[in-house]
Amino acid sequence: MAAKLIKGTEIREEILEEIASEVSEIKEKKGVVPGLVTILVGENPASISYVTLKIKTANRLGFKEIQDNQPADIPEQDLLALIDKYNKDDSIHGILVQLPLPKHVDEKKVLNAIDPDKDVDGFHPVNVGRLMIGGSEVKYPPCTPAGIQELIVRSGVETKGAEVVVVGRSNIVGKPIANMMLQKGPGANSTVTVVHTSTKDMASHCQRADILIVAAGVPGLVKPEWIKPGACVIDVGVNRVGEKISEKTGQKVAILKGDVDFDAAKEIAGWITPVPGGVGPMTITMLMQNTLKALKFKLGIA
């Protein structure tokens, strides 16, 4: 294998240790801990496993963690009232509403109801705007793009002047990571191209990339011949392509495949993220980072 493996599971541990030591220092000096509420509506199995991991991580770091589970048929008005309650709660610094929401609820309305200063997901239009302006305006970068940037920087990949190609234009990954990588500043300063379903020749753009970030949700979309030798390849795809019995637990687990043909790509790239164990572990880590930031903003020490 030519490429260096970018191990999200190891980088996660580094960052969580940094967060834990800041949390205990603030607790000792100021007597407060970060407070995070996660609102889960209904019983979507993927959401439940995601939320369970969030709770575990928040507890490990010594956060105040509230898990607020609501029935799938909760009226929209009741959900908005619940958000308003946590907006006013001084012990809560971060509010997260797990997506997707049931069809009868207007997702936009719900996300817009969260106080932008408690929006640790970074999905509120105010925080999207702050991210677009960049620099000291940015409060809460969205968690998956923030995790991608950490993986690139902590792996020692040069971003200044690099050709970055982003595959996919979602609001959660593609658009924000493209915006973050073009900002003037450390870990960015790149020349960015975004390709998508209407791009004429996706391969030719990808072949130019020093850093290729793929968030398309299409298993194996990126072929080895699309990769420039020595490039840094970040695979955000988490595609469930089947099921298997786990050797560890004996339980049925999903077989996950990325958007990049990993086995072939690893022989060409300079760096590559595996799926699972690459970008995945970073999202919750950056959520914890944002929640700590929210407390620090409140205390005036950010």
210 carries an active-site annotation: no
Q: How far is the CB of 213 from ligand GUN (least distance, A)?
A: 16
CB of 123 to ligand GUN, least distance (A): 7
Residues 234-273 that bind ligand GUN (CB under 6 A): none
Instruction: Print the binding letters for residues 210-229 with ligand GUN: x by CB under 6 A, - otherwise.
Output: --------------------
Q: Which one of 117, 121, 210, 261 is the catalytic residue?
A: 121
**Cβ-proximal residues to 117 (8 Å cutoff; 6+ apart), any chain:** 139, 294, 297, 298
Q: Does 143 bind ligand GUN (CB under 6 A)?
A: yes
Residue 163: both structure tokens together: 């050709």
Give whichever of 190 and 290 is closer to ligand GUN, judged by the CB atom. 290
Of all residues in the shown chain, the one whose CB is closest to ligand GUN is 99
289 is an interface residue for ligand GUN by CB under 6 A: no
Residue 172: name the closest of 216, 205, 210, 116 by CA: 216
Task: Please answer whether residues 154 and 160 qualify as being in contact, where contact means their C-beta atoms are separated by less than 8 angstroms.
Answer: no
235 counts as catalytic: no
Pairing of strands 239-245, 252-257: antiparallel
User: Closest Cα partner for 252 from 264, 260, 242, 262?
Assistant: 242
Per the annotation, the verdict on 296 as an active-site residue is: no
* Binding span for ligand GUN by CB under 6 A among 93-101, 132-140, 226-234, 290-298: 93-101
Catalytic option among 98, 149, 183, 289: 98
Binder among 98, 159, 179, 291 for ligand GUN (CB under 6 A):
98
Burial of 149 (0-12, 13-18, 19+ CB in 10 A): buried
Stretch that binds ligand GUN, among 55-63, 92-100, 241-249, 258-266 (CB under 6 A): 92-100
How many residues bind to ligand GUN according to rule CB under 6 A?
A: 8
Which of 36, 37, 97, 162 contacts ligand GUN by CB under 6 A? 97
Query: Residue 50 Cβ, how far from ligand GUN at the closest point, in Å?
Result: 6
Min CB(35)–ligand GUN separation in Å: 17
Question: Which of the ranges 60-68, 82-90, 95-103, 129-137 carries the binding residues for ligand GUN, by CB under 6 A?
Answer: 95-103
285 lines the binding site for ligand GUN (CB under 6 A): no
Which amino acid is residue 214, in one-letter code?
V
Measured CA to CA, the distance from residue 226 to residue 204 in angstroms comes to 7
DSSP designation for 104 = T
Neighbouring C-beta atoms of residue 10, cutoff 10 Å: 12
Among 283, 289, 290, 291, binds ligand GUN (CB under 6 A): 283
**127 lies in the site for ligand GUN, by CB under 6 A:** no
What's the Cα-to-Cα distance from 160 to each of 64, 107, 212, rounded to whole Å?
38, 36, 14
- Give one word for 61, left, alpha or beta, with left for phi > 0 and alpha for psi -120 to 50: alpha
Beta-carbon contacts of residue 245 (< 8 Å; ≥ 6 apart)? 251, 252, 253
Please state, in angstroms and rounded to a whole number, the distance separating the CA atoms of residues 233 and 262: 10
* Cα–Cα distance for residue pair 105/46, rounded to 1 Å: 19
Q: What is the Cα gyration radius of the chain?
A: 19
Q: Which of 22, 117, 119, 121 binds ligand GUN (CB under 6 A)?
A: 121
Binding footprint of ligand GUN on the chain (CB under 6 A): 50, 96-99, 121, 143, 283
Q: Which residues are catalytic?
A: 54, 98, 121
